[in-house]
Structure formats: structure tokens, C-alpha cells
Amino acid sequence: MNIAGITSVQGVTGTGYLPSTTSLGASNSSGFATELSSAVDGLQQQQSISNDLAIKAVTGNLDDIHNATIAATRAQVTLELVAAVRNKGVDAFNEIMRMQS
């Protein structure tokens, strides 16, 4: 099953602080756990970028506040997505446990 709509941060573009995204599809060599781990790593990277830009904004070393705002919003939305996937996974696990009893 290929899930083409989910994206994760793979790196920071050379022109600014905005992360580039690539599609997370279930390839033949990687499983769900690998993709989930990759998404969490991407979330941590986005939060790190957002924190760095927030510190620069507070200290006055930031030239463009738009990048900081966009990075913070991306980190927030990604965190909400990861939490929703986690909640659905827990719900699925609980449903499986109910089916076995």
C-alpha cells in the first residue's frame, strides 16, 4: 500500500530555513516502523529549526520574520499530524485487543 500524501522533512533548502519535503511511500525495502521513525526524525528537525529561528528572532539576529513564522507553523502542524497518527495507532491496537477477547 502506497501512502503518497504524507510528507516528512528531509533537509533544509540551501536558500533559507524552510525544509524540503519528500513523499513517504511504502517501498519494498522499508516498513511502517521505518517510515514512522523517519517522520518523527523529521518532526524533531522541524522543531529544532523552529527553535533556532525563534532564538534568532528574540536576540534580534533574524533578518526575515516570515521564515520563523512559517517554520513554527510547520512544526506545529507536523506535531499535530504525528499525534493524530499515534492516536489512531493506539485506537487500532485497542480494537485488535477487543477482538481477541
30-60 pLDDT per residue, tens? 788 898 888 899 999 999 999 999 999 999 9
Angle among Cα 68, 71, 75 to the nearest 5 degrees reads: 140
Name beta bridge partners: 22: 8
Query: pLDDT at position 15, please?
Result: 40
Q: pTM to 2 decimals? A: 0.63
**Greater pLDDT, 67 or 2:** 67
Given a cut of 80, whether residue 92 has pLDDT beyond it is yes
